[in-house]
Amino acid sequence: MIFVTKKILFITAVVSTLSFAQTEPELQYNYAVKLYNSENYFDAITELKRLRFFDDKNEYSNSSNYLIAKSYKAGAKFDDAIRYFTLAEIENTNQERYFNLRIEIVRCNILRRTTDRAMQILSSLENDSAYKSKSNQINYWRGWALMFNDRFDEASKQFANINPNHPLKLFAEGIDDKLYSVPVAKSLSYLIPGAGQFYTGNYFSGTLSFGWNLLWGYLTVNAFIQNRIFDGFMVGNLLWFRFYRGNFQNAEKFALEENVKIINDGFYFLQTGYSGEKP
């Protein structure tokens, strides 16, 4: 009787061990998902890579690659994220999932500002007859790629292809209207020193620039009128030309700085106030 009991216990222990071994990859994957959901991204990556090593049957290969990629993306490791999205894409056999993985790679390229690569992928999807019904999604992410490349006028046209009143179309148009033209700022300063600074709203700098150029221009011309040729060249080359050149350089710098502020404010609004999908 004792022998039979021990035998039963032994068999039960073996069966339990085998059952645990069969469910262990699933438990480890679920644990990694829990880490990901709690934003412990790099711990999740460690667990998922360990799972891949021990997953002899490759049951979790595709899903673990996908989650590793999402974890890297959440940690702003975009190159690594693209690598694992690509691995998940290679192992994938589902057409819809392939499209979604391609879009994930596009989103990473948008965030790391490799706009040309994002546009290439979107064009290849657009030219694939299997994804003719996905034109709105393709235009949507193309618009985002252009916005991240500071091409707001072009971006607004992509969103308009989805809906003439699309909120991102209106947003992109609004940003484009606010941006200062760098060539215009420089050209104004070529014609009238300080005008470029006035154009960008830097009135104090514009007033100073106009005043200094007026002063050194007057002294230079006056020196030539009085036949003080050497003084005229010295004042003109060392002072007037210096302030004149600095004037249009400042106009360019101010235009660029103001544009950066406008764009940053715009993206901050999208981050906090826009509820749609973001890269």
Can you tell me the distance from the alpha carbon of 140 to that of 159, in angstroms, rounded to the nearest whole number?
6
CB distance 87 to 79 below 8 Å: no
Q: Any idea which of 49-53, 142-146, 159-163, 264-268 has the lowest mean pLDDT?
A: 49-53
Residue ending a domain, choose from 161, 178, 195: 178
Reference 267, options 155, 124, 134; nearest CA is: 155
Q: Which of 178, 197, 224 is the last residue of a domain?
A: 178
Q: Answer whether residue 104 is part of any domain.
A: no
Task: Answer yes or no: is 30 within a domain.
Answer: yes
Report the C-alpha gap between 261 and 257 in whole angstroms.
6
What's the confidence (pLDDT) of residue 216?
47
Domain shared by 130 and 87, yes or no = no
**For the CA atoms of 116, 120, 123, 129, what is the dihedral angle to 10 degrees?**
-170
The position carrying tokens 């600095």 is 246
237-252 in b/e burial notation, b at 16+ Cβ within 10 A? eebbeebbebbbebbb
In sign, the C-alpha dihedral spanning 67, 68, 72, 73 is negative
CATH assignment of the domain containing 38: 1.25.40
Q: Which residue has the higher pLDDT, 218 or 26?
A: 26
Do residue 74 and residue 43 come from a single domain? yes
> Based on the domain organization, do 170 and 195 belong to the same domain?
no
In a domain, 276, yes or no: no
pLDDT of residue 195: 67
pLDDT tens digits for range 238-274: 555 565 566 667 777 778 888 889 888 988 988 888 8
Q: Are residues 150 and 200 both part of a single domain?
A: no
The answer to the question of residue 85 being in a domain is: yes
Task: Find the length of the chain.
Answer: 279
The stretch 86-95 carries a mean pLDDT of: 85
Q: Is residue 97 part of a domain?
A: no
Structure tokens at 126: 């657009």
Q: Are residues 67 and 141 in the same domain?
A: no
Residue 12 reports pLDDT greater than 50: no
pTM of the full structure: 0.76
**Residues 203, 136 share a domain:** no
Q: Tell which of 163, 178, 193 closes a domain.
A: 178
Same domain, 171 and 158: yes
Boundaries of domain holding 194: 182-269
pLDDT at 11: 43
- CA distance linking residue 148 with residue 263, whole number of Å: 9
| Residue 10 covered by a domain | no
Q: Is residue 133 domain-shared with residue 81, that is, in the same domain?
A: no
Residue 203 lies in a domain: yes
156, part of any domain: yes
The number of domains in the chain is 3
91 and 129 in contact (C-beta within 8 Å)?
Answer: no
